[in-house]
Chain A
Amino acid sequence: MTSLIPFIPLLPFAGFVVNATLGKRLPKSVSGGLASLVMVLSFLISAYLVWQLAQMAPDQRLMTNTIYRWMASGEFTLDVTLLIDPLAAVMLLVVTGIGSLIHIYSTAYMHDEVDSEFARYFSYLNLFASFMLVLVLGSSFPVLFVGWEGVGLCSYLLIGFWFKKKSANDAGKKAFVVNRIGDYAFLLGMFALFALFGTLEVRGIAAQVAAAPPETGFGLLSIATLLLFIGATGKSAQIPLYTWLPDAMEGPTPVSALIHAATMVTAGVYMIGRNAVLFSHTPDTLHIVAIVGAATALMAGTIGLVQNDIKRVLAYSTVSQLGLMFLAMGVGAFGAGIFHLYTHAFFKACLFLGSGAVIHALHGEQDIRNMGGLKKYLPVTYWTFVIGSLALAGFPFLAGFFSKDELLFETFAEGHQILWAVGALASLLTAVYMGRLVFLTFHGERRHDAPAAADASTFAKATADKHGHAAGHGHDTHGHGGHGHGAPHDAPPAMALALVVLAIGSVAAGYVGVPAALGGHNALGAWLAPSFAAPVEAGAIAASAAPGEAAAEGEEAHDAEHIALERTLMGVSSAIAIGGLLVAAFIWLQRREIADQMARSFAPLHKLLLNKYYVDEIYDATVVKPIEAVSREGLWRGVDVGVIDGAVNGVGSIVDASSMVLRRLQTGSVRAYAGSLFIGVVLMLGYYLWR
């Protein structure tokens, strides 16, 4: 049974190999079909194994498969071991399930690419899935890191998929480099852990760390976990390394859905969940995680409020939601964080794919100011988009409601009232900007009349430039040959299928984690709990270090009190979601002029938000430019050419001058040189022998 585990990442990898080597000779139906098929197979295997896992006793749920020994050097040994536990199981299903849908969706979305580009796209997508699955399954830090860097690479390749566009290439490079900054910290964190524990196996470290009490003060262990968290801020787009994610929207929209919303960007959250025992032994780091998460949620939410590119609004909302997940991880509510990760995957993928359907229908238009009134043309897209938006906003009894509520409740219950307030405010912003997005895109009058793609680009670019954006927005500028320029038409079957399935998920996904306050028993929380506890081998000690269980036990302990609190907070959350949506409806459906008026009366603030707090510009001016200038003028022209070479050449010319006398010795023939070399050696030997 465990022998099936390697096939989960290997199947997509095989798909990558086929499409990368033979792809351009294959028709689209074969290359796209193959890529989708391997994903579906991978999903089926995952589902089978998870079902098997569920048959085991809760604290026994673990499958491992050691494939081979990757490295060995002295006491450092490293096996490639894949592991499925309850946490990995959830991620597996999300990655392969949503991954399959997005592959299928892409077969329609990318259909206008030529065969070779189509195959290239699917080879990258398969490779991404393969690395992501390695990341999920890896039982040790370095194996996880293979997936971690691998998904970064695929993200780079896919953001820059339309490689003619400079903006796409820049965005791809930015994503890679910013991620590398995080990876640098991650590497240091790994080394620190090995120095402390002598192993890089996650469970091995957990077992050792569980034996000791949590670290007080900011010691070595806290530094190690903080470094890992910095790595996570890169991958999961948190302050200060979030700037790459909005730019990543240059990639094809399904890529944004799969990589930059549903799966890859959640890797940082997953990594902390995977190391819950370790992180819960460093309360100081966890505190930082929570604060960074809350701050990111709020900051991204404010930016999302004023953006005009449909994908960028979604991108900032992703950053914001990831912030909430980190907030949950930071307050020790690991189950709630993963719960939100899981529901978020459904509705955010649904929204991104929906935005893709809109862009597809409008031949590359992405500016919501040029949309409006699309409801009647794109009914499937509209309804699925609305469901996704409601779920994201936390509308009662949809997926996002349960998970967001749980994480905010846990934050409050753990005694972080201020962080709770920040999270609640971020949720309010979410409701407002999602309402704005829906109303501006689908409701009201049509503001743009099915233009040719080229017009749309120029127009959008002009507006973008006007607002001082760096390089214009990304546009999925694929030609749209077969279709006329009439009314926009709804998503083709393959795309509609993915949208509908994800919309159903956005409604239903939350019911695996209905809290006790609503008469449920948080099945997901119970399922995940063993993953956040110290390994069973650690035996009796495990109990002390089980945050997940502790949360569960805590709930039972003061049941009534908690349920009352949770119900209250739930009411607040619902009010926030509905209130935010109503505000948005009032402004953007009834009184559009209010928005413009506010933008005018708070012009500096509006400009600040529109320009994303100028963080990119600040980084550029304080880090990128100085480093480049110092390297060019200071190090290269100054030190290298000036000082060092100057000295060398100076010595050279002195030797040159003095050797004018000795010039006759230089005959220019190789034999003479070789001979003189030999004589030199003999002379020196002689000196030592007979002196």
Chain B
Amino acid sequence: MLLTLSWTLPLAGAILLALVGNADGRKDAMIRWVALAASLVAFAVTLLIWVRFDPASAEFQFVERVPWIPAFGIDYYIGIDGISLLLVVLTGFLTPIALLSSWEGVEKKVKEFSIFILLLEAAMIGVFVSLDLFLFYVFWDAMLIPMYFLIGIWGYDQRIYAAVKFMLYTMAGSVLMLIAILGLAFMHQEATGSYSFDLLRLYTLEIAPETQRWFFLAFAVAFAIKVPLFPFHTWLPDAHVQAPTAGSIILAGVLLKMGTYGLVRFAFPLFPLAAHEFAPWIALLAVIGIVYGALVAMVQPDMKKLVAYSSVSHLGFVVLGICAMNIQGMQGAVYQMLAHGISTGGLFLIVGMLSDRRHTRLISEFGGLRHVMPRLTAAFLIITLASIGMPALNGFVGEFLTMLGAYLWDPRFVVVAGLGVILSAVYMLTMFQKVYLGEVSNPKNAALQDLQPREWASVLPLCAMAILMGVLPSIFLAPMEPAVRKVVERMESARPLVAEASPQAVPAAALPAVDAAPAAAAVAAAAVVQGQ
């Protein structure tokens, strides 16, 4: 019940707000407080779940299961393990901060804005807790809609272009994934006589290597777009630059992790043979992304774009760790997801504060801010250091473990990925210098206000988390270890099959694999029906 509560609470908040009449905007303040309260209660619930979570167990906990569409074996089936637990808590943690960040920045349609944020939170938590693939898909697509509107309505000048680009990109991936999900249920039916979208049952399906390849690719492309993995990343800078601050925080903090979470939870363990086959290639894209994202970040004139490209770079570490398929790599990857959520969320938050004050995000418009806003500068410096992986802050633990894991797998990738460590210092410190150090070069910056109490309330928790996660990472590493170990063991047990896979005609091989023709037809159909 607690788990259901975690995603229905924000949903209830959204519904409650929808019932409030606020045509003239007089109730804006009340609406903001209600939304904040709802998100805080939801956060409290996620914390309570963590407290009651048994960290020693690798099994799914808080499992709830209610038949939903029995004819197709679709259940309302949710539960969490150590991996999803922490991502749920992260979502709960970042949503109130996102709401706080828009306290003054968002002035029009406050009610709708708050509703969309809460809906987004509900859908995101839903994605992380779903154990039924159909349910997962519903939440997955439900997530896109509020995000689309958040960018499209409250964004900056080119918001429509960015929103549509975001939608098109992710929809393209979603469709592929949907086909693969349906195919899985169909294969289950062939093998056992009944449909099922139950993830744990589908894990046990024996799928022919050739079939795995296609299914894996369908999932992997959907997730790669979300991550985003080079070269599927170009929606991200536009979406980030155009999104309102709250949108960027959630986009970078949580939404991007959907992709990497999907790889850990679905693509890799469902199709381990294919995963082993493709992992080197995905890792190659990941390390290209690490260096490429960092290099492009280095030359960005816009702060938000810089941070957006830095995300491409940081998420590359996550994907690399996953591809290593050992405990250090995967744990590092999950840890890096959390760490990136904190530090990049923090960067967008503070950039948003500057943008609210000056209505520009161009680095060249700033300079010498340390004179006028020493506190904000200090906060930004802490987050910057967290982001570039300073030991004893959160980024280091994730990067260190992913690179360690990847090194044990294949050192060549780490030799390239490690360059990101150098480049991140270059682009972040360059931005820090140009924005905060030197003389106040632009008179418009001379009278900017330092952090306000409300801004403190959003910045401090992020800084505190950055330090806590760096100094005491075991708090977070310990509960996820059993779950990660289980995934790794699953991947390892499949490894020997790689060599001798083809001669062993597994039962599923007899199934008609989803070949290209119906897939293409379905893509076309979906594109037509779903419109944009």
Identify the A interface with B (CB < 8 A): 69-76, 142, 145-146, 149-150, 153, 156, 160, 163-166, 169-170, 173, 176-177, 180-181, 183-184, 187-188, 191-192, 194-195, 627-628, 630-632, 635-636, 639-641, 644-645, 648, 652, 655, 662, 665-666, 670, 673-674, 676-677, 679-681, 683-685, 687-688, 691
Contacts and interface: CB of A to CB of B under 8 A. Distances in A.
B439 A164 contact: yes
Contact of B390 (A149, A188, A641): A149
Given A164-B438, A176-B429, A684-B526, A73 B481 contact: yes
Interface stretch (B239-247, B249-257, B414-422): B414-422
Interface string B404-422: 1101100100110011011
A153 B411 contact: no
Nearest to A679: B529
Given A163-B370, A184-B419, A644-B234, A76 B328 contact: yes
30 contacts: A72-B474, A73-B405, A74-B327, A76-B327, A76-B401, A150-B390, A153-B390, A160-B437, A164-B368, A169-B437, A176-B425, A177-B425, A177-B426, A184-B419, A188-B407, A188-B415, A191-B408, A631-B296, A631-B299, A639-B292, A662-B528, A665-B531, A673-B530, A673-B531, A673-B532, A676-B529, A677-B141, A679-B529, A684-B525, A685-B72
Contacts of A662: 528, 531
B80 interface: no
Contacts of A670: 145, 149
Listed residue (B141, B391, B528) with the most chain A CB atoms within 10 angstroms of its CB: B391
A665 B529 CA distance: 8
A73 B530 CA distance: 44
Interface stretch (B178-186, B201-209, B213-221): B178-186
A187 B392 CA distance: 15
Contacts of A153: 385, 390
Nearest to B238: A645
Contacts of B298: 627-628, 631
Contacts of A181: 422
A683 B529 contact: yes
A70 B393 CA distance: 12
Contacts of B385: 153
A455 B425 CA distance: 36
B332 interface: yes
A177 B529 contact: no
A688 B403 CA distance: 43
A685 B414 CA distance: 43
A691 B327 CA distance: 43
Contacts of A685: 72, 182
B168 interface: yes
A648 B165 contact: yes
A628 B299 contact: yes
Contacts of B141: 677
Contacts of B532: 666, 673
Contacts of A166: 438
A73 B332 contact: yes
Contacts of A145: 391
A142 B391 contact: yes
Given A645-B234, A673-B531, 4 more contacts: A76-B328, A169-B438, A192-B411, A636-B299
Contacts of A72: 474, 477-478, 481
Contact of B296 (A149, A177, A635, A681): A635
B25 interface: no
A684 B331 contact: no
A160 B437 CA distance: 9
Contact of A636 (B296, B368, B397, B477): B296
Interface string B292-317: 10011011100000000000000000
Contacts of B473: 70-71
B115 to A, nearest CB: 12
B478 A687 contact: no
B53 interface: no
A173 B388 CA distance: 13
Contacts of A635: 292, 295-296
A645 B149 CA distance: 22
A165 B525 CA distance: 62
Interface in B501-532: 518, 522, 525-532
A272 to B, nearest CB: 20
B85 to A, nearest CB: 17
A150 B234 CA distance: 35
A61 to B, nearest CB: 28
B136 to A, nearest CB: 13
A631 B168 CA distance: 27
B169 interface: yes
Nearest to B69: A685
A1 B426 CA distance: 43
A635 B532 CA distance: 29
Interface in B161-194: 165, 168-169, 178-179, 182-183, 186
Contact of A73 (B331, B368, B436, B525): B331
B299 A632 contact: yes
A301 B477 CA distance: 50
A70 B474 contact: yes
A184 B421 contact: yes
B276 interface: no
B518 A687 contact: yes
A194 B411 CA distance: 12
Given A70-B474, A677-B141, A191 B407 contact: yes
Listed residue (B137, B404, B421, B473) with the most chain A CB atoms within 10 angstroms of its CB: B404
A73 B327 contact: yes
Listed residue (A153, A187, A632, A683) with the most chain B CB atoms within 10 angstroms of its CB: A187
